[in-house]
Amino acid sequence: MQSTLDRKDHLHIAIIMDGNGRWAARRGLPRTFGHRAGVETVRRIVEAAPGLGISKLTLFAFSSDNWRRPAAEVAALMGLLQTYLQAELQRLIDGDTRLTVIGRRDRLPEGLAQAIARAEQATTRGARLRLRIALDYSARTAIAHAAICMALPISIDRFARLVTQATDDDDSPQEVDLLIRTGGEKRLSDFLLWECAYAELLFTDRMWPDFSADDLRAAVSEFRRRERRFGGLGDGSPQPQIANMTA
Ligand code: FPP
């Protein structure tokens, strides 16, 4: 019998990487140490993803609401992201990974914005894994932006088609198959609201710095066991995937 993990499903997995601060606090360390440990987890997960049938991975690194955090923590996070993009670039290229950043760019420090542009440019040929980092990201803003860019009034179908096109950044399906949130909270926090319409949700108490490749493997196995019906009866009737609406 074919192993469930052998199937080439080109999964899109989205992760809310929560729990860095608590991980650090439990060790008597400043919160930024938790973020630094979180970067190590990002490396591990990016490396493990293609071997688990994941072709698209979207990581929530900084929400538009995270600007409310103390300036020192925001600066530390921006610095970590810039360092990650610079230090990991060659590894991303070697791993045949294409990196893109979703979210607003106009409020990012200039050095980070430049590092993003460089990394995106240098990895355009990556075909094994599409890594998307959500930065200064708000799903509501993304949807509102798409709506503002459109000539309204239009039909709901046309709206759906246009939002899909406007929030997409490549030609592969953007619909999320599995959303994972670490850190024990059970909410979406304005992440990929449109794209997660039919996502399976998996919440784990594991803090992000402790999340391992084995945890990701277990999450994918759990996903494979779930029956997805997309509002139908699970009998092979057409699925209302937004990816299909672009046709
Ligand atoms: C949430 O944990 C985590 C963040 C707001 C930042 C996530 C960033 C990283 C993992 C590092 C950089 C990312 C990349 C892609 C290189 P929290 O601080 O809210 O934790 P808490 O809920 O325990 O306080």
Q: Please write the tens of the pLDDT for every residue from 87-119.
A: 999 999 999 999 999 999 999 999 999 999 999
242 close to ligand 1 (CB < 6 Angstrom): no
Atom of ligand 1 at shortest range from CA of 80: 12
For residue 239, the model assigns a pLDDT of 58
20 close to ligand 1 (CB < 6 Angstrom): yes
Q: How many angstroms does the Cα of residue 215 sit away from the middle of ligand 1?
A: 18
Q: What are the tens digits of pLDDT across the range 132-191? A: 999 999 999 988 877 776 656 666 667 667 666 665 566 555 789 999 999 999 999 999
For residue 232, the model assigns a pLDDT of 75
For residue 2, the model assigns a pLDDT of 40
Three-state SS string over the chain comes to CCCHHHCCCCEEEEEECCCHHHHHHCCCCCHHHHHHHHHHHHHHHHHHHHHHCEEEEEEEEEEHHHHHCCHHHHHHHHHHHHHHHHHHHHHHHHCCEEEEEECCCCCCCHHHHHHHHHHHHHCCCCCCEEEEEEEEECHHHHHHHHHHCCCCCCCHHHHHHHHHHHHCCCCCCCCCCEEEECCCCCCCCCCCCCCCCCCEEEECCCCHHHCCHHHHHHHHHHHHHCCCCCCCCCCCCCCCCHHHHHC
Instruction: Give the residue-averaged pLDDT of 28-52.
Output: 98
Q: How many angstroms does the Cα of residue 61 sit away from the middle of ligand 1?
A: 6
Q: Do residues 129 and 88 lie in contact, with contact meaning Cβ atoms separated by under 8 Å?
A: no
Q: Which of 47-56, 65-74, 127-136, 173-182 has the lowest mean pLDDT?
A: 173-182
Query: Given pLDDT bands bounded at 50, 70 and 90, which one contains residue 218?
Result: very high
What does pTM read for this prediction? 0.88
Q: How many angstroms does the Cα of residue 101 sit away from the middle of ligand 1?
A: 16
Query: Given pLDDT bands bounded at 50, 70 and 90, which one contains residue 6?
Result: very low
For residue 20, the model assigns a pLDDT of 98
Instruction: Give the residue-averaged pLDDT of 29-52.
Output: 98
Q: Which residues have a catalytic role annotated?
A: 18, 66
Percent over 90 (pLDDT), the chain: 72
